[in-house]
Amino acid sequence: MTRLVRWTPVNGPVERVPALDVLDHEGHIEVRMDLPGVSPDDVNIEVKDGILTISAQVRTDETLDSGNYTYRERYTGSYQRSLRVPKTIDVQNAEAKFENGVLSLKMPKTPEAQPMRIPVKGAAVN
Protein backbone atom coordinates (compact mmCIF):
# COMPACT_ATOMS: atom_id res chain seq x y z
CA MET A 1 0.00 0.00 0.00
CA THR A 2 1.29 3.48 -0.89
CA ARG A 3 1.02 6.06 1.84
CA LEU A 4 0.70 9.71 0.90
CA VAL A 5 1.58 12.29 3.52
CA ARG A 6 1.08 16.02 3.18
CA TRP A 7 4.09 18.14 4.02
CA THR A 8 4.65 21.87 4.14
CA PRO A 9 7.28 23.37 1.81
CA VAL A 10 9.81 23.18 4.67
CA ASN A 11 9.14 19.45 5.05
CA GLY A 12 7.25 19.64 8.31
CA PRO A 13 3.82 18.18 9.09
CA VAL A 14 0.75 20.39 8.56
CA GLU A 15 -0.78 21.71 11.77
CA ARG A 16 -4.53 21.59 12.22
CA VAL A 17 -5.12 25.15 13.40
CA PRO A 18 -8.10 27.16 12.15
CA ALA A 19 -7.44 30.56 10.58
CA LEU A 20 -8.13 33.47 12.90
CA ASP A 21 -8.26 37.27 12.44
CA VAL A 22 -8.50 39.97 15.13
CA LEU A 23 -9.88 43.32 14.01
CA ASP A 24 -9.68 46.51 16.04
CA HIS A 25 -12.77 48.66 15.46
CA GLU A 26 -13.43 52.01 17.11
CA GLY A 27 -15.78 50.66 19.79
CA HIS A 28 -15.02 46.95 19.84
CA ILE A 29 -12.62 44.15 19.02
CA GLU A 30 -13.78 41.46 16.61
CA VAL A 31 -12.37 37.95 16.39
CA ARG A 32 -13.19 35.96 13.25
CA MET A 33 -12.35 32.27 13.03
CA ASP A 34 -12.88 29.85 10.16
CA LEU A 35 -14.51 26.65 11.43
CA PRO A 36 -15.56 24.67 8.35
CA GLY A 37 -17.58 21.56 9.01
CA VAL A 38 -18.41 22.62 12.57
CA SER A 39 -21.92 22.89 13.98
CA PRO A 40 -22.65 25.96 16.16
CA ASP A 41 -23.56 23.54 18.97
CA ASP A 42 -19.99 22.21 18.87
CA VAL A 43 -18.34 25.61 19.45
CA ASN A 44 -17.33 26.69 22.96
CA ILE A 45 -16.09 30.17 23.90
CA GLU A 46 -14.67 30.79 27.35
CA VAL A 47 -12.78 33.61 29.07
CA LYS A 48 -10.84 32.77 32.22
CA ASP A 49 -8.10 34.80 33.90
CA GLY A 50 -7.84 37.13 30.89
CA ILE A 51 -7.46 34.31 28.35
CA LEU A 52 -10.05 33.86 25.59
CA THR A 53 -10.28 30.23 24.48
CA ILE A 54 -12.29 29.15 21.46
CA SER A 55 -12.68 25.42 21.01
CA ALA A 56 -14.66 23.41 18.50
CA GLN A 57 -15.35 19.79 17.64
CA VAL A 58 -15.52 18.60 14.03
CA ARG A 59 -17.72 15.53 13.74
CA THR A 60 -18.57 13.30 10.85
CA ASP A 61 -21.21 10.67 10.28
CA GLU A 62 -19.14 9.18 7.49
CA THR A 63 -18.38 5.48 7.73
CA LEU A 64 -16.50 3.38 5.24
CA ASP A 65 -18.24 0.19 4.21
CA SER A 66 -15.19 -0.90 2.28
CA GLY A 67 -11.81 0.41 1.28
CA ASN A 68 -9.14 2.41 3.06
CA TYR A 69 -8.01 5.97 2.73
CA THR A 70 -4.87 6.46 0.67
CA TYR A 71 -4.96 10.21 1.28
CA ARG A 72 -7.04 12.15 3.77
CA GLU A 73 -7.02 15.90 4.45
CA ARG A 74 -10.53 16.49 5.77
CA TYR A 75 -10.12 16.79 9.50
CA THR A 76 -12.27 15.32 12.24
CA GLY A 77 -11.41 16.06 15.84
CA SER A 78 -11.07 19.17 17.96
CA TYR A 79 -9.59 22.63 17.51
CA GLN A 80 -8.56 25.10 20.19
CA ARG A 81 -7.13 28.63 20.01
CA SER A 82 -6.34 30.92 22.93
CA LEU A 83 -5.68 34.67 23.01
CA ARG A 84 -4.92 37.10 25.82
CA VAL A 85 -7.74 39.64 26.24
CA PRO A 86 -6.78 43.16 27.36
CA LYS A 87 -8.44 44.50 30.51
CA THR A 88 -9.95 47.26 28.35
CA ILE A 89 -12.34 44.72 26.77
CA ASP A 90 -15.81 44.16 28.25
CA VAL A 91 -16.12 40.38 27.90
CA GLN A 92 -19.40 40.39 29.87
CA ASN A 93 -21.13 42.03 26.90
CA ALA A 94 -19.49 40.00 24.13
CA GLU A 95 -21.67 38.65 21.32
CA ALA A 96 -20.94 35.67 19.09
CA LYS A 97 -22.54 34.54 15.85
CA PHE A 98 -21.76 31.64 13.56
CA GLU A 99 -22.58 31.85 9.87
CA ASN A 100 -21.35 29.90 6.84
CA GLY A 101 -18.56 28.23 8.80
CA VAL A 102 -17.20 31.51 10.22
CA LEU A 103 -17.38 32.41 13.91
CA SER A 104 -17.57 36.15 14.62
CA LEU A 105 -17.03 37.30 18.21
CA LYS A 106 -17.54 40.99 19.01
CA MET A 107 -16.26 42.29 22.34
CA PRO A 108 -16.92 45.94 23.21
CA LYS A 109 -14.18 48.14 24.55
CA THR A 110 -14.63 49.64 28.02
CA PRO A 111 -15.19 53.41 28.26
CA GLU A 112 -11.60 53.78 29.47
CA ALA A 113 -10.38 52.30 26.18
CA GLN A 114 -12.37 54.73 24.03
CA PRO A 115 -10.47 57.68 22.57
CA MET A 116 -11.12 60.85 24.48
CA ARG A 117 -10.79 64.32 23.03
CA ILE A 118 -9.25 66.93 25.25
CA PRO A 119 -10.31 70.49 24.38
CA VAL A 120 -7.56 73.10 24.04
CA LYS A 121 -8.30 76.46 25.60
CA GLY A 122 -6.67 79.61 24.35
CA ALA A 123 -5.01 82.17 26.59
CA ALA A 124 -7.17 85.08 27.71
CA VAL A 125 -6.59 88.27 25.73
CA ASN A 126 -6.47 91.56 27.76
Quick check: 107 and 85 in contact, CB under 8 A? yes
Q: What is the mean pLDDT of residues 30-34?
A: 94
User: Measured between alpha carbons, how far is 111 from 13 in angstroms, rounded to an integer?
Assistant: 44
* pLDDT band, residue 105 (cuts 50/70/90): very high
pLDDT value for 6: 45
pTM of the model: 0.71
Please tell me which residue, 39 or 11, carries the higher pLDDT value: 39
Q: What is the mean pLDDT of the chain?
A: 82
The backbone torsions φ and ψ at residue 96, rounded to the nearest 5 degrees and listed phi first, read -125, 140
pLDDT attached to residue 44:
96
Architecture of domain 20-60+73-111: Sandwich (2.60)
Asked if residue 56 has pLDDT above 80, the reply is yes
Rg value, the chain, Cα:
22
